[in-house]
Structure formats: structure tokens, C-alpha cells
A and B are shown apart, each in its own frame.
Chain A
């Protein structure tokens, strides 16, 4: 079974600064997807960024970028120019790329990291 570990329960950053959230995972599969989700106080889950394991290039979405190290099974999220609206709980998640089966598309989440942004 796959596991996802986020070792930072809480992180804080000053507005306009950069912060990196860590995530490691364990899997025996070679093809999979990794995600970062944001859960603000409203508790609506929002997809921040997605990385396909077969792609060597790190995914980026505006101020959000990842450092994907497949051999090390590491998938960190960097938030640049942090904004007050970035304050949320962030979850790293894993999904197998295998097709079919009754649990196709099932996500495995890490424990989450609470990010505080100071003005």
C-alpha cells in the first residue's frame, strides 16, 4: 500500500516571502500522480498543482511550483511571494495511474501542513 508523509504539522511565512512544504511518499509503482491540495478555512478542497510521475519536468502554476525527486520519493511544494490568501491547510496526495478497478482514482493523503501567513 502507498503511504504519504508530511513531516511539518505547521509552517509559517511572512507575506511576500517564499516557503517550502515537504512531502515524501512510499510506493512500489512506477507510474502515478502526485497532487497538492489546499484547504482554506472554508474547508473546500482546492487542487493547487499536479505532477505526473513519468514527467521529469517539475510542474508549476503561477506562484506554486514543485520539486519532484522520483528516486528519493520526495515531492515538495514551493510557494513564492506568499499572500495572506495562501493561509490554509495543505495536503500532499498520491494516486496510482493504474486503470480500472472499483477504487480507480483513489487518493492517499498525507497528514497535512497548516500554513500561516504573517502580514
Chain B
């Protein structure tokens, strides 16, 4: 149990367009999900905490209007990168909290051309 999926696994988009990444907890309900960004050979950087039914809590330095987070149900959180630019190219990972543990999705590789 405790499986988290992400879709898509890879996405290429053109500069200026928006792209949506979905994070789903498949076999449990998650009131809290987390979104991370990771550059090659670097650590995970927490972008925001997504709480079902309320506004996301963004970490310092993360642009709220650029990285839109919606946690509309207990099993789904979405991250929308708006007006994407090449510097937004990265690996995005979500996790879902179940009791005391976080379970991670497989990640989404975003490339902005």
C-alpha cells in the first residue's frame, strides 16, 4: 500500500506555455501533499505544502503566481507551472503524507524549450 503516482513522467513544453503535473495517492487519502524541485545531483528543495481544501503554503522564494497548486480532493494535488521558461526545467517530485510518513511519487521531468 501507500502508492503515489505522478503524471506525466516527462513533459516538454514551449517557453511561455503552462504545464500541469498531477500527483495522486492511489490507495490512501492524503490531507497533505508536498511539492519538491530537484536539480541534477542536488537535494530536494521543498516548494510548497498542499493542504486539501485550503490554500497551499509556499516556501520562501517560491513564486505563488508561477507555481499554482490545487489540492481539490483527498487523493489529488496538481502543480501548474505558468508561463514556463527554460530555467523552470527541472525534476519535480510530489509526496503525500499518510500518518507519520511521506510517500513519494516517481517524479516528473519538465523540459522547457
Contacts and interface: CB of A to CB of B under 8 A. Distances in A.
A48 interface: no
B92 to A, nearest CB: 11
Interface of B: 32, 34, 38, 41-44, 46, 49, 51, 54, 57, 91, 93, 95, 97, 100-102, 104, 106-107
A109 B95 CA distance: 14
A23 B68 CA distance: 33
Contacts of A108: 46
A21 interface: no
Interface of A: 33, 42-45, 47, 50, 89, 91, 102-112, 114
Nearest to B30: A105
Contacts of B101: 47, 50
A48 B95 CA distance: 16
A12 B54 CA distance: 45
- The B interface, classified by DSSP as helix, strand, loop or mixed, is strand
- The A interface, classified by DSSP as helix, strand, loop or mixed, is loop
Given A103-B49, A107-B46, A107-B95, 11 more contacts: A43-B38, A43-B91, A44-B106, A44-B107, A50-B101, A89-B41, A104-B97, A105-B97, A107-B102, A112-B42, A112-B43
Contacts of A103: 49, 57
A102 B93 CA distance: 19
B104 A45 contact: yes
Contacts of B43: 91, 109-112
B51 A106 contact: no
25 contacts: A42-B106, A43-B91, A43-B106, A44-B104, A44-B106, A44-B107, A45-B44, A47-B101, A50-B101, A89-B41, A102-B51, A102-B54, A102-B57, A103-B57, A104-B32, A105-B34, A106-B34, A107-B34, A107-B95, A107-B102, A109-B44, A110-B43, A111-B43, A112-B43, A114-B41
